[in-house]
Amino acid sequence: MRLTRSLPAALLVLTLPLAGCSDGDPGDDPSAADSSSAAPSEPSEPSDEPTDESSEEPTDEPVSGDAQPVETDQVAFEVPADWEVVDPDEFTGDKDGGAIEDDPAGGELTDRLGISGDQLLQMMGQADVIVLSGAGSVDGFIDNLNVLHYPGPLPTTPELQSQLAEQYANLGADDPQFSTAQTGAGEAVLVEYVLPLQGREVQGRAIAVQSGSDVVSITVSARDADLATRVAEQVVASLSAVG
């Protein structure tokens, strides 16, 4: 177990991997939130107004024919076939004081994706698994998905709304949306929000589901709302429990 936080704190900690994906300010207005994790901004089912207990049925059809499996000790799901699945344990161990770029696998990955070793380590140090867009870094940001888990029960949608609304507002999120969806791993709580990061808006989805005594949180962060929505829908449609 990498972290021992409550889910509300965990969803905010997801800002750290996202900040690790960003390097530099592409815009003229460098008003950056210190860090921001995202969950996409244009859901296909929830309405524009947040609902306390909306529920979506999982779809039987995949979002795309191009998919690859991702599995942790607790859940399994699919992501786009051209995204890069990375096991943080392969890179976050003792490197004998050397830079991650000096590790053959780490150097190849950072070169191909256009990110630094420090960025890669910051992203992976918090996560069970991360998945990085095959398109690589664009204007200092790479679209990504990360999986984390935390001990404790899954809060209800109203509880999350109450606990997170002010905290998201402090990070600059405008009216985050909350809903639920039935998945192969049980009922999931979905959080949709948009956060400012170094002159850009980052779109995302947070998907939280109970797994035994832990909560598993899957967060998609992307520059484009449609992409974030498609990847999140693909995860929800294919999500299942492991073990």
Looking up residue 142, the CATH number of its domain turns out to be 3.40.1000.10
Domains in the chain, number = 1
Residues 6+ apart with CB under 8 A from 163: 8, 155
Residue 54 lies in a domain: yes
Model confidence pLDDT, tens digit, residues 157-178: 888 888 777 777 777 777 788 8
| DSSP-derived pairing of the beta strands 55-56 and 177-183 | parallel
Q: Which of 86, 85, 75, 148 has its CA nearest to residue 121?
A: 86
Other CB atoms closer than 10 Å to residue 3's CB: what's the count? 14
Lowest mean pLDDT among 90-99, 174-183, 198-207: 90-99
Residue 121 lies in a domain: no
Other CB atoms closer than 10 Å to residue 217's CB: what's the count? 27
Q: In which band, very low, low, confident or very high, does the pLDDT at 45 lie, cut at 50, 70 and 90?
A: very low
Residue 102 lies in a domain: no
Evaluate whether 40 touches 220 at the Cβ level (below 8 Å).
Answer: yes
Residue 113 lies in a domain: no
Q: In which band, very low, low, confident or very high, does the pLDDT at 125 lie, cut at 50, 70 and 90?
A: low
Residues 6+ apart with CB under 8 A from 4: 150, 151
Residue 49 lies in a domain: yes
3-state DSSP percent of the chain in helix, strand and coil, to 5: 30, 30, 40
Helix axes 104-113, 117-124, angle to 10 degrees: 100
Q: What is the pTM of this model?
A: 0.72
Residue 172 lies in a domain: yes
pLDDT of residue 119: 74
| Residues facing 39 on adjacent strands | 193, 204
Residue 95 lies in a domain: no
Lowest mean pLDDT among 35-39, 49-53, 66-70, 237-241: 35-39
Q: State the average pLDDT over residues 88-108.
A: 64
Residue 129 lies in a domain: no
Question: What is the residue range of 78's domain?
Answer: 7-22+29-83+138-241
Instruction: Please state, in angstroms and rounded to a whole number, the distance separating the CA atoms of residues 124 and 113.
Output: 14
Other CB atoms closer than 10 Å to residue 102's CB: what's the count? 12
